[in-house]
Amino acid sequence: MRWLRERIGAALTVLPSVSVAVRDDAGRVLLIRHADGDRWLLPGGCVEPEEPPDGAATREVEEETGITVGPLRLVAALGGPDFTVRYENGDETSYVTVLYEGPVVGGSARADDVESLEVRWCTLAEAAALVTTASTRRKLALLADACAEGRPPG
């Protein structure tokens, strides 16, 4: 990203990204308190060049939380104004996010103290009450709507 920013400056860029609704046996989702902005988010991040999105999803979850997530299920592809971030240094990024859902298959939840400062298991109602971003609120609402209708998200 540094290479690109050196060439284009702070101009709005579009980046592929992933988010994962990691579920425990009780159906709760795992959230991280992110170091950038001190807000609660679903684990996730940018897709690296030539990396499959599902590979990025499992990698990001493990890096940020210590959890190994099981078979991923595609929930939605999201974007738009709620997914545009204006960083403190002036950079602007519009994220196109692939949202996955999957169960825990290994590891134990912990913060990495780099990107994630804290991890927390929450019901969707508890998660909606935390300080978060517009994009995370959209993801949580999508998951909650699917659960309320008795169908899997996606």
Domains belonging to the chain, first-starting first, are: 2-148 (3.90.79.10)
- Backbone dihedral angles phi then psi of residue 82, each to the nearest 5 degrees: -65, -15
CA 70 distance to own-chain centroid: 16
Could you report the per-residue pLDDT of 94-122, keeping only the tens digit for each?
Answer: 999 999 999 999 999 999 999 999 999 99
Torsion over CA of 79, 148, 20 and 105, rounded to 10 degrees?
A: -160
Q: Which of the two residues, 152 and 22, has the higher pLDDT score?
A: 22
Average pLDDT over residues 123-143: 93
Q: What distance in Å separates the CA atoms of residue 47 and residue 59, rounded to the nearest whole number?
A: 10
3-class state of residue 25 by DSSP: coil
pTM over 0.95: no
What are the structure tokens assigned to 91, written together? 């950079």
Q: Residue 150: pLDDT band by 50, 70, 90 thresholds? A: low
Alpha helix positions (H), 2-133: 2-8, 53-65, 124-128
